[in-house]
């Protein structure tokens, strides 16, 4: 099994790579058709949610820069 990598893209989607599964709230698996890379929508404009369809282009602004979260309370 390969490690899962999650990349937050600038002005766009969340990219998942590796070994993962995506389930709905009821625990049902999305059929990913054997894909090992998918992009998830984070702008809310995709017509294919939870997957990205590129609708964010020119409509979503977020510079993704890593930072440290404060200590857990």
Per-residue pLDDT of the chain (73 residues; tens, 9 = 90+): 579 999 999 999 999 999 999 999 999 999 999 999 999 999 999 999 999 999 999 889 999 999 999 999 9
Q: Please say whether the beta carbons of 41 and 50 come within 8 A.
A: yes
Opening angle at CA 28, ends 23 and 25, nearest 5 = 60
Q: How far apart are CA 34 and CA 8, in angstroms?
A: 22
Report the predicted TM-score, pTM, of the whole model to 2 decimal places: 0.87
The bridge status of strand 37-40 relative to strand 5-8 is unpaired
């Amino acid at each position: 099994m390969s490690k899962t990598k999650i990349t937050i893209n600038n002005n766009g989607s969340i990219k998942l790579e590796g070994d993962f599964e995506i389930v709905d709230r009821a625990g049902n698996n999305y059929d990913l058709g054997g894909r090992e890379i998918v992009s998830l929508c984070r702008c809310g404009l995709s017509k294919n949610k939870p997957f990205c369809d590129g609708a964010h282009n020119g409509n979503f602004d977020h510079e993704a820069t890593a930072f440290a979260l404060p200590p857990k309370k």
